[in-house]
Structure 1
Amino acid sequence: MPEYFLHSINALSHGLLGYIVPFLFVLTIVVFFHELGHFLVARWAGVKVLTFSLGFGPELAGFNDRHGTRWKISAIPLGGYVKFFGDDSEASTPSTESLAAMTAEEREGSFHHKSVGRRTGIVAAGPVANFILGALIFAGMALYYGKPSTIARVDGLVAESAAANAGFKVGDVVVDIDGSAIQSFADMQRIVASNAGSELGFKVKRDGAVVALKATPALKEVKDPFGNAHRIGVLGIEHKAQVGEASSAPVGVFEALKIGVEQVWYIIASTFKFLGSLFVGTGNPGEVSGVIGIAKLSGQAASAGFQFVVNLCAILSVSIGLLNLFPIPLLDGGHLLFYSAEALRGRPLSERTQEVGFRIGLGLVLMLMVFATYNDILRIAGS
């Protein structure tokens, strides 16, 4: 067996031991809220819920509630599902024969006999619950820790950098980027980091006047405190904390909620921007991470403190909610795609069409998992 491959396996097995517990903690919270969204709206819509499972495969433990729903923890903790009355499988695929044989009373509690609008609401509720969870976590952190308040001031310039070439000067204070108000140095960093190669319009305060500048952040590979490499946009602006300058400012409940929603939107917008860069060939496919990469990041976050674990939970919640909305059969977005077709046609797609769609979706999901896992192994082996 090649020495490089042996090194990859050893690095992987050694690292995973310290990642499993925090990874399962984060994933379980995210999955629970996702499935809870489906569950609550289904109950409201009058659908009978047969199973609420955290994980897949054989049941490890569980109980039945007074409505007859089986709540359980299953052996493979990489997701979860809610199974409704009338479902032919955990993926909510319908069976024409079993649906046709239902009595009028059974149809009242059947998911597939509900209107397109109600089915759409039930399916969309999972991703929406993830977005809500992410926003509430970000809001809670803003309420507890405050928001970054360090002024976006230019204290130094890297020679021949994008900022230096654009005409920035020491002492400038950035107040606006492409129409977005900049209230802190962190605000500026966030926008610049996600816009490598894109020209941005800046407004800076200089000697009491507002000066307009244009700069294109350069793509640069940097490493975070854990040693993970990231390709981000940089301007070459240096900032030094001043004596007595506060790094954060307290916020009220409503402002915290606003910050939470803005953070969720930022993750969604950044994800689409990254996908767009992959489509046009400017992005790096190697940055796509899978289960192993998330597990590694969970372990690193746990070693840094509970605050980082909670922050990762919010990011992962939004990311999983967004991923589930992609129009791929097998995911929530695939179901919504089918329901859209049903609404336009006035009748459901044929069982055969849906079956083919789910098989294609399964193939796409498996290919993505294999590709992401391959990237994770290469990153861990190279660290």
Structure 2
Amino acid sequence: MGDKAGVVPAHHELVVDALLACAVLAFTIPTSMIGYSFAVWGRAPFWIEVLVGVVTAATMFVRCRTPWPAVVASAVCACVTGQTVPMALAAFSMTAEHRPRRWQYVALALVAVYWVVDYMDPHTDRSVYLNVVRAVTLIYLPALVGTWVYAYRRMVWDLRRGVREREEIAAAEERRKIAREMHDTVTHAVTAMVLSAGMARDATEPGEVRELTATIEDKGVQALSELRELLTVLRHEEGDLAGGVDAIARLVGEAKATGLHVDLRLDVPPEGLPRQVSHACYRLVQEGLSNIRKHAPATRVLVTCEAVGDQVAVSVTDTPDEALHGRAAGRTGVRAAPSLGGGYGLAGIRERVHLAHGRFSAGPTPEGGFTIAARLPLK
């Protein structure tokens, strides 16, 4: 039975089938040997009784695949040998393993066969009432109990499948979460380090070189610290994800140190924000500044993070500036950091915003720049 996959081990089913086959043989062969068996038309030859008993026992090994061999063979066995126990086993297996659409009619047919055999049995009373009671109790009731067993197995199977699906969804979400954190932490730090290293290569003043190398060192230490905090969270130890709105000013200061022209509008009480919302704001600003370093360093940048009613609006917008482009051409301005492509940053920010039940947008501005923005609920 396909629905029982993972509920009953295959070797357990084989053991049960073998025990049921032995039970059928124990009820048919000995009674035929001692002459206690009978057929509804009189008495069948011994070899036919043995053959019918063996065939009925063999059908127990296919009862989990199809119910019909056991149903037919048990009914024939009852008519040839007078043994009705195989019919009870077949009725139960029919509904416990398969539950055919019209199992009630099949069960009633077996009840009728049982009643005829029981009524014809020379070793029992010929009471119609008792014959009916025994037929319903020993045939229809096992079939009914089988439907409950079938429903229970299906419920267990559905629960296990649901658990596996939830585990897979949770694992996929954890992988995405780790990927987002790794991308945002490493990309931002490495971009700043590469940009500072390029500026240090072109610097001529020893003091400027020392300042840029110190910036590289600081960004490396910061990246290691954030990675350590991320590992702490993944190990389920005390700790929290790095960065919140209180760290946005630091991001802007670091961007200015690498030559970007950035203005900041920050008007959000950091203690009043949910952790997930605060972290999403931080990562959006971090991703926006990293993208500007890589793709549009000679622009003016506006970073906003303000509380608007019951929401917080955060955005990073760059606007082209001809004067900055001219200075960049003269090698006195900022340079673009090398980009290896990827495209995971904005997708990760979009996922963060949606997880915080906010709205995300990204696209070009009428002035020829680019903006990424989000609105997130404060509660």
Report if TM-score (shorter chain) is over 0.5.
Answer: no
Q: Work out which structure has the larger RCO, using CA pairs closer than 8 Å and 6 or more positions apart in sequence.
A: 1
Structure showing greater radius of gyration is 2
Q: What's the TM-score bracket when you normalise by the shorter of the two chains?
A: under 0.3
TM-score, with structure 1 as normaliser: 0.20
TM-score, with structure 2 as normaliser: 0.20
- Considering fraction of residues, name the structure with more strand: 1
- Considering fraction of residues, name the structure with more helix: 2
